[in-house]
A and B are shown apart, each in its own frame.
Chain A
């Protein structure tokens, strides 16, 4: 009986990361699985999907990078330049819109895009291009409060990621890892906007870890948490990825490991205090951020269930750690073209570092664009596979000593993508991987990088979109293409699925753009002509079937 109960509890727990009717958080649930338990649309009938409605945002600069949020039949979508739309999730009818006003003559830092909102307790939260976090009334879009993290003109940082909202707190990091800036993660009271805690991603004088920065380098060392964090309610911990140290390619004046850049950090949700950290890349000189999603999964290992955290590093290497204490569990490469390290040892430490050199060209793989970009993977508890994109490409890079100037770009080098990587052709892929061993079940290969997030469902369907505008479905077990639909512009956002009144919908943003999309012509000249756009397509099975 106990055993049955244990199995039941476990299987219930295992489903906690799955979404159902709602898509409440950026990564689905706060465990960032991007997996839905809905199976009305499945491998057998996905080819019958038809358009339910289309939303045109009208703002195509920067494409459409959002992952929509759906709560109780209402979808919340953002566009570039911080416009928010609330739509009837079944019909696409606009319920309200909010148009953010940027300061007059504002120079957009990095890019104009936004990746989504967070929704809780009748409020919608969004970070802005000029580094404000704001709260809107979910009923009518009226602004309730806004707070400025730091002046964008001073820090060279802002917010493009969706915030994480849990336990009455809105948590956000900032961009700025390529600026002379010191990163942080802030928690604000969801009701009042008041700052509750702040975690500096680079420890200050007197704090543990400060000794990993030589001289004054800690003041301008980057370390931006520029994507959305995860949360484990049971452990009371929120997990964030801290990006690269600045300057990106040159570390001559920041000698040391440079904590907590390129680390996964676990913070106490109530106090913001560091519980543990796992640094993937000590003293990074490749711009290989730890920046992407922290996928929280529970798996049996050597006879006991472990609470794990999977994180793909920008260098194309996947790290799995125990999320209760940060202990290294496993690491595996996602791409063939990887020469910045030879691998990791049993403790997860980097071996055979191959660093850029001052004043001399060097070929490094993957390129600065990453062995994968920030577009997220998906975990299916049903197939026990992690589905993620990967990119095969290299760069020719030169490190350059540079003096930091507060808030200004601080790169420490120049690069260009190389047409021919070390192995095979440059291009992208989407694969199904065992999360621990990295053993690949299948690989879907594509001519260009795949830059949209991945969605997995209990219907054994994997959804994502490509650079040429096709939104498509693969069989989760085989990788066979089951369906595709031309949306007219390339994909850089996050597809989701949800249900209203018992009908399952699959939604995807379509709209080519982003810093990385802009780099593609260095390898593929025709990519310069990929058409811009910014629309949301929603699909469902024909009614009455």
Chain B
């Protein structure tokens, strides 16, 4: 009886289907050389094989990541059942030998984790793509941070009053942001700049993209002029009117969602 009980206790306390699912997810996202290695054998990141972890801890770390390390937060890419499956799989490695079987052959049909943009409805996908389009230097995200991506040089578009739905895409094309000044330096250099802080000497230099954050001193600066020849058009030229409309609709949708 005692033996039987031990046997029962030694059985994994999680469904085999979940372990198999976790195995596949692990092979796809966690086993790469920069991370935990095939079967959790260790790579750049910690070995998981042959170690015991608290299940709640595993779920928390998988979901939220570990700040200032290479462990990302999977909470926005994986469903809760998938995170649980990963935890099950990692726990199933606790008694595994340090050695590992051949790498897992992942079924090509394994559904991939959703990407960060998947929450965007189809009618706004185009606008989203244009906003973050990495193939063009002058993209919205070069100066505006949205959904945690992009450089926060220009105003936060989600802040109340930053955009008015009634403005329409014309404002993107022809707007003349008030925050842009002409910064004249004593060495003869001159550039359209956005101050990082009031009364400070740090400016974003908009004369080329991506914008340059220049840490100047009072000694460097000749004068800062209110007038500027810089227009929003300078940075948005590569977008067509239709593109603008799509971007505008997307940004308005994100803003409304908030």
Contact = CB atoms under 8 A, between A and B. Distances in A.
Interface of A: 102, 104-112, 142-151, 153-155, 178, 181-182, 192-196, 198, 204, 219, 358-361, 368-369, 396-398, 400-403, 405-406, 408-409, 411, 414-416, 514-519, 521-522, 525, 528
Interface of B: 27-29, 31-34, 37-39, 41-45, 47, 65, 67-73, 77, 98, 100, 102-106, 108, 112-113, 115-117, 132, 134-135, 137, 141, 148-151, 189, 191, 205, 207-215
A409 B134 contact: no
Contacts of B73: 107
A289 to B, nearest CB: 13
Given A106-B67, A398-B103, A414-B103, A528 B47 contact: yes
B213 A414 contact: no
A153 B42 CA distance: 25
User: What are the nearest 7 A-B pairs in CB distance?
Assistant: A405-B115, A193-B212, A518-B44, A416-B38, A194-B208, A515-B44, A414-B103
B68 A192 contact: no
B37 A409 contact: no
Contacts, number: 172
Contact of A402 (B112, B134, B209): B112
Contact of B68 (A108, A150, A151, A181): A108
A182 B133 CA distance: 11
Contacts of B44: 110-111, 514-515, 517-519
Nearest to A111: B44
Contact of B70 (A111, A143, A411): A111
Given A106-B67, A400-B108, A195 B208 contact: yes
A522 B100 CA distance: 8
Nearest to A419: B99
Nearest to B65: A107
Given A102-B68, A111-B34, A193-B205, A151 B214 contact: no
Given A150-B134, A219-B135, A145 B108 contact: no
B42 A522 contact: yes
Nearest to B27: A414
Contact of B32 (A109, A411, A525): A411
B102 to A, nearest CB: 5
25 contacts: A105-B68, A111-B44, A112-B69, A142-B215, A144-B214, A145-B214, A147-B210, A151-B150, A153-B149, A154-B132, A154-B141, A182-B135, A192-B205, A193-B205, A193-B214, A194-B212, A195-B208, A400-B108, A401-B108, A405-B115, A409-B29, A415-B103, A516-B33, A519-B33, A522-B43
Nearest to B26: A414
A271 to B, nearest CB: 15
Contact of A358 (B32, B68, B108, B141): B108
B135 A204 contact: yes
Nearest to A144: B215
Contacts of B72: 107
A518 B40 CA distance: 12
A405 B69 contact: no
Given A409-B32, A416-B39, 10 more contacts: A146-B215, A147-B210, A151-B141, A154-B141, A219-B134, A405-B112, A405-B113, A414-B31, A416-B38, A519-B44
Contacts of B115: 405-406, 408
**Listed residue (B33, B151, B189) with the most chain A CB atoms within 10 angstroms of its CB:** B33
**Listed residue (B106, B209, B212) with the most chain A CB atoms within 10 angstroms of its CB:** B212
A134 to B, nearest CB: 9
Contacts of A149: 210
Given A107-B70, A414-B38, A515-B34, A194 B205 contact: yes
**Listed residue (A196, A401, A517, A522) with the most chain B CB atoms within 10 angstroms of its CB:** A522
Nearest to A137: B215
Contacts of A516: 33
Contact of A515 (B33, B69, B116, B213): B33
Contact of A522 (B37, B69, B210, B213): B37
Contacts of B209: 195
Contacts of B105: 359-361, 398, 400
Nearest to A408: B115
A403 B65 CA distance: 23
Contacts of B104: 398, 414
Nearest to A252: B108
A145 B33 CA distance: 34
Contact of A178 (B34, B38, B208): B34
A53 B212 CA distance: 38
A402 B38 CA distance: 17
Contact of B28 (A151, A396, A400): A400
Contacts of B215: 142-146
Nearest to B151: A148
Nearest to A149: B210
Nearest to A397: B103
A378 B33 CA distance: 27
Nearest to B132: A154
